[in-house]
């Protein structure tokens, strides 16, 4: 009997034989599961906990990585992988606990800001540090670019929480309303602004209890007009909003994960209940999302009741979910920095110590990738050795009318280093009893000895194992009696 290692959908009924209720540290692939890479730490420590990061491409084609802490802004030096302080004269900054740095590129300028400090501006490719943005712009939590305008959302002050304001056309130093196209709009419904992003011909605004679209409408006499897309539902976690393309974005709402303004459910009856049972609801607003552009997965990091962090991921290409127990800090979608020979010498003591293959994205400047900051504030890419993975099948009745004795199984995988364990139940609702983990013999079979009405098979690989796919287990069993 062939039993698949199905999609991770713990909200499904335990009687559903096509899904798995337990998968850790494995990535979905078209016909099963594949390995999940661990971390490769590449930098020295930031002076403090990372509160936001970004990469920018200069006019010369080099890629720079910038990160912010509560009090400063820093540029990664790829000669010795230290962090150079490029804070402006308003430093030390004071990023609030429930806020983070927002980075937005506008032409050859990088905007960095939070709700407490003056908006900062940095000349990309220049040698000068950040400075205060001229023109007296309001302080704001969020920003994005829409056409020729820089848009700010959630402004300082009580009324500002429900307000968006945009700059003059092609002039981020002009903030006088009604001049050069600059203006503002207080939103009468939907509660506070939680984020937004530019779209062709306008921009989206996501609120706590609503969504709006602002089309560019100069013929109307206004720069932008307003259309309510969803009058009642938005997001509870501003940093959970992840845009991956025109009109395509994902976010966490009060009742689970959704995509787009029409709230297409992506987690309903699959992972929503599992997530809400595992997240510390006191920190629901702190859930942070980021896209891994290489794997096509949106990851959300959340805090558990014991204080540790965990991640759940959605593969938007395969419409599949995954999880990891790897505890990480701030997540960032980056490009790999340009690596010099001096930088390679800094990372590794000798050529034998290089863990990654030489065609790794880590060594190719400008390749889109996914990174995080570790607990000791070092930047690390998800390009290390494969993590130890655990993948369960569903509980399956091999014989619908009788108990079954399993004497062996053959796993459909290219892994050579793995174990397989059979868990049995005497009937639905009973606790599972796990047998002894067994390895593959020379004939490619895993010998097992287990008896039960329901069987569940657990595939496990150790950290560092070399493999690419596991899809199913073919079980050798025989009827062992009625019950």
- Residue-level pLDDT at 351: 46
Residue carrying the six token digits 């020379």? 442
Alpha-carbon distance 106 to 115, whole Å?
A: 19
**Over 50: is that where the pLDDT of 336 sits?**
yes
- CATH architecture of the domain 40-337+346-381 equals 7 Propeller (2.130)
- Residue-level pLDDT at 349: 53
Domain(s) of CATH 2.130.10.10: residues in the chain: 40-337+346-381
CATH of domain 2-36+387-481: 2.60.120
Alpha-carbon distance 368 to 293, whole Å?
A: 6
What is the average pLDDT score of the chain? 92
Determine the 3-state secondary structure of 277 from DSSP: helix
Highest mean pLDDT of the ranges 246-260, 326-340, 348-362: 246-260
CB 388 within 8 A of CB 25: yes
**Over 50: is that where the pLDDT of 433 sits?**
yes
Domain(s) of CATH 2.60.120: residues in the chain: 2-36+387-481
Alpha-carbon distance 412 to 473, whole Å?
A: 6
**Over 70: is that where the pLDDT of 455 sits?**
yes
- Residue-level pLDDT at 334: 86
pLDDT tens, residue by residue, 276-285: 999 999 999 9
List of residues 6+ apart from 212 with CB closer than 8 A: 187, 190, 204, 205, 226, 227, 228, 229
Higher pLDDT, residue 344 or 283: 283
Determine the 3-state secondary structure of 377 from DSSP: coil
pLDDT tens, residue by residue, 135-162: 999 999 999 999 999 999 999 988 899 9
């Amino acid at each position: 009997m062939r039993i698949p290692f199905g999609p991770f959908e713990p909200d499904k009924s335990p009687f559903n034989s096509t899904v798995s209720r337990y998968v850790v540290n494995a990535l979905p692939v078209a016909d099963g599961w594949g390995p999940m890479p661990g971390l490769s730490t590449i930098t020295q420590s930031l002076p403090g906990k990372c509160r936001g990061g970004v990469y920018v491409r200069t006019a010369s084609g080099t890629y720079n990585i910038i990160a912010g802490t509560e009090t400063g802004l820093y540029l990664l030096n790829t000669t010795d992988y230290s962090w150079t302080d490029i804070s402006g004269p308003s430093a030390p900054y004071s990023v609030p606990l429930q806020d983070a740095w927002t980075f937005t590129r506008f032409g050859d300028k990088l905007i960095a800001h939070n709700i407490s400090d003056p908006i900062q501006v940095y000349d990309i490719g220049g040698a000068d540090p950040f400075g205060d943005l001229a023109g007296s712009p309001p302080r704001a939590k969020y920003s994005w670019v829409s056409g020729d305008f820089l848009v700010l959302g959630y402004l300082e002050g009580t009324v500002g929480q429900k307000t968006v304001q945009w700059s003059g056309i092609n002039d981020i130093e002009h903030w006088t309303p009604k001049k050069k196209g600059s203006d503002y709009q207080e939103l009468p419904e939907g509660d506070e602004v939680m984020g937004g992003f530019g779209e062709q011909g306008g921009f989206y605004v996501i609120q706590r209890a609503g969504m709006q679209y602002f089309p560019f409408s100069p013929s109307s006499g206004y720069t932008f007009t307003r259309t309510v897309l969803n009058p009642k539902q938005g997001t509870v976690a501003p940093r959970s909003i992840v845009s991956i393309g025109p009109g395509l974005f994902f976010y966490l709402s009060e009742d689970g994960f959704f995509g787009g303004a029409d709230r297409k459910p992506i987690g309903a009856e699959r992972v929503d209940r599992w997530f809400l049972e595992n997240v510390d609801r006191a920190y629901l607003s702190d859930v942070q999302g980021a896209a891994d552009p290489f794997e096509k997965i949106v990851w959300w990091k959340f805090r558990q009741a014991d204080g540790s962090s965990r991640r759940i991921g959605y593969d938007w290409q395969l419409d599949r979910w995954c999880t990891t127990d790897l505890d990480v800090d701030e997540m960032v979608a980056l490009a790999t920095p340009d690596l010099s020979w001096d930088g390679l010498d800094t990372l590794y003591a000798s050529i034998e110590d290089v863990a990654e293959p030489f065609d790794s994205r880590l060594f190719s400047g400008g390749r889109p990738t996914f990174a995080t900051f570790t607990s000791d504030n070092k930047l690390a890419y998800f390009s290390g050795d494969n993590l130890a993975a655990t993948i369960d099948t569903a509980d399956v009745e091999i014989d619908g009318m009788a108990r079954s004795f399993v004497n062996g199984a053959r796993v459909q995988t290219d892994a050579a280093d793995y174990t397989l364990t059979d868990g049995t139940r005497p009937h639905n609702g009973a606790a599972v009893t796990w047998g002894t983990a067994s390895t593959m013999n020379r004939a490619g079979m895993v010998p097992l000895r287990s008896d039960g009405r329901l069987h569940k098979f657990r595939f496990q690989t150790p950290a560092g194992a070399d493999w690419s796919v596991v899809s199913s287990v073919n079980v050798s069993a025989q009827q062992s009696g009625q019950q």
